[in-house]
Structure 1
Amino acid sequence: MPKHSTPGLAALALSTFAAPLAAQEPMPVKVFIGAMFEIGENTGDRAGELQHWYERYWSETEAQDVPGAFSSMYCNDDGVCGAVLGMGKVNSSASMQAILLNPAYDFSQTYFMLSGVAGTPPSRGTIGDVVWGSWLVDYDLGHRWAPEEGEPGAPVFMPRAGYEDYRRFELNAKLVSWGVELSQDVEMQDSDSARQYRQRYPDGAAQAAPSVKVGTHMTGDTFFHGPGLSEEAQYMAELYGADDYMITEMEAAAIALVIKRLQGTDRIASLRGAVNFDQGHPDETTLEHLDPAPGETAGGFAETVENITLVGAPLVDQIVANWGDWKDGVPAHSGE
């Protein structure tokens, strides 16, 4: 073969290899929505935490496999991605880390919407409420003992030194303000069964119609119930200098720690809808509340999971539609 033909072959070889490399550029993710469980299919049946998000943003997309994650991931052409992360702190945070470390995606400017159902104390919330998290507090980091082994009426929790950097997270107040402002006129869904159930509680907050609220999300793998543990959660929120305890859930603080180590916390929003009270009404025991008789369960689940998306989607849409204003950080808004 003539020597002058060799450079041409080399250029052809380089171009052949360059094409697939260029196609592997990571996809920039503008918003990531993390749900914790889905009940059945992603659409067309009883909705869990992902379904309304899926129908709004990903019904025309293909599932993308992410090794190490709980489930497939979905992304649309606008840079909105989402997945079911799994229930509980370890499950969900392992999924989040697998997703963040996957080289197919660029999360360097991503906003994170951590979304799901939860419980609420009847003194501060009601079935169908949706609460923007201002603080995320880990319920499990510290020391606990049986009440009879301490001083009567005294708290049975004590923080342990060394957990200061990951037992609480104050979320970006500016981002929370955006979420509240954009969702303040949302028409919340409700049901007759939820209205009837609320009347079993004497608290004004419990009997009220669903609304958008702000407060601390308390993350614990233990599904704690009863007035005593509810009071303890409030005690912990005050102990850590956080806002009032509004939501009990199982994942947000753990997911936030994973995101913090890789991207920081300025772009995290935690959004939870209340589908149960964290304690029984005055005429039932905590065990009866946990294992209710037929007809004694709270209504409003279907309405609450819809409310979560109704409340959270305006922020997602605002970020995507005005990406030039958002890509470098949370912008100022009319309330400032």
Structure 2
Amino acid sequence: MQTLILRSGLLLAALFMSFTAQAAIPVKVVVVAMFENGELTGDEPGEYQFWIERLKLKKMDFPLGAHDLHVNDDGVLAICTGGGVTNATASIMALGLDDRFDLSNAYWVIAGIGGGDPLDVSLGTGVWAKHVVDGDLLYEIDGREIPSSWEYGLIPLGAKEPNQESTGWTVDTIVYDLNASLVDWAYELTKDHPVEDTPAMKSFRSHYKGFPNAMKPPFVTIGDTLGASTYWHGELLNNWGNDWVKLHAGEQANMVTTNMEDNGTLTALHRLARTDRVDTDRVLVLRTVSNYSFPPPGKSAAWSTTAPYPDQGLPAYEAAFGLGNRVVQTLLEGWDTYRETVPGS
């Protein structure tokens, strides 16, 4: 009798596990936004609201996240991680371990606003990254105490001075290389997609005389992104950012946008990939420029750090949705191919 009960219990457990596995929702595309203004719908939009409203996504409870998840029957799942590296890391890890979803074939479209280097881009520009670099993991000394021969007081872990290769202790999560072929595919798909220009944007960028790329109408390009929990700003730190990205991602790399989450998101995704829960060859990072990373001539860094974004950043939110959704819809339309074959491969 005990043997029969044991066998029955094992059979029920196996059936339950089989049902649970079959019940996992197969996700085709995960859209990752970072923050929202106010309510998730019906008010001033942030990065998340357009996706919910325009793709008619339905709420799913997500107690371990900063906000609820949203999904639709087409295979799209959207998450808003909460702002900052720690929120992004925790939220993405929680999603990746959520057994309600099968994310093994999902593409990840990380789409949000960011600062733009005036040496490279203008307001509203959409930038697809090939490298995501962490700007937090370093030594720092106060600017009033740096040696006179140093340009800034930020030093790589394991190095002795700024912009020097590490020869000592460091960590292996400072740079993540994205699938370059997939990034090229996304860029080709979206490079002619219209990006909104407005009178406020034109007026603001007109102050960047001597910076031709900053004075252009918005466009779409490829360039790398530097993440940090600190909202840094100014021309001297911009010089550091450009040096830092080249130091860690290679001379071909170029810091074009700044953000406060992507290094955390990529760290979580790469951890999840160790157990094949996600495929990091299917990750895209799009940042659209809401503000510049240093001030125009004649303005101070202190003023520029907290200056209002032209049009409250709305054109950048629109660009993040418009360019990101172009990729999302193309992946959905070609899912019979893209489920097994990554675009550009």
Cα distance change on mapping 1:300 and 1:211 into 2, 3 Å: farther
Question: Per the alignment, do residues 194 and 104 of structure 1 end up closer, same or farther by CA in structure 2, a change over 3 Å counting?
Answer: same
2:258 matches 1:257: no
Counterpart of 2:285? 270
Aligned counterparts, 1:119-268, within 5 A = 119-147=115-143, 148-161=145-158, 162-202=169-209, 203-240=211-248, 241=250, 243-263=253-273, 264-268=279-283
Amino acid at match of 1:306: E
Residues 285-300 of structure 1: pairs in structure 2 closer than 5 A: 285-292=300-307, 298-299=310-311
Q: 1:105: how far off?
A: 0.6
One-letter code aligned to 1:170: D
**Structure 1 unaligned regions, length at least 5:** 1-6
| Contact 2:152 2:236 (C-alpha < 8 Å) held by counterparts | no
- Paired positions, count: 317
What is the Cα deviation at residue 283 of structure 1? 0.8
The CA deviation at 1:234 is 0.2
Contact 1:144/1:158 (8 A) holds in 2: yes
Question: Percent same amino acid among aligned pairs?
Answer: 29
SS of corresponding position for 2:110: strand
1:164 deviation in Å?
Answer: 4.6
Show the counterpart of 1:49.
Answer: 47
8 Å CA contact 2:146–2:152 kept in 1: the answer is no
| CA spacing shift, 1:168–1:193, aligned 2, 3 Å | same
Paired position in structure 1 for 2:276: none
Residue 298 of structure 1 deviates from its aligned partner by 2.9
TM-score normalised by length of structure 2: 0.85
Structure 2, unmatched stretches of 5+, are: 159-168, 274-278
Partner of 1:4 in structure 2?
none
Conserved? CA contact 1:197–1:299, under 8 Å? no
TM-score between both structures, scaled by the size of structure 1: 0.88
Deviations 1:4-54 (A, max 9, x none): xxx9xx99xx89x96997376111111101111111333332211012222
Cα deviation for residue 165 of structure 1 reads 2.3
Cα deviation per residue 1:74-116 (whole Å; 9 max; x = unaligned)?
A: 1111111001110000011101111110110111111111111
Distance 1:291 1:43, change over 3 A: closer
- The alpha carbon displacement at 1:67 in A equals 2.7
* Stretch deviating more after TM superposition (224-233 or 162-171): 162-171
Q: Distance in 1 between matches of 2:84 and 2:296?
A: 26
Aligned 8 A contact 1:66 1:102 in 2: no
Bigger radius of gyration among the two: 1
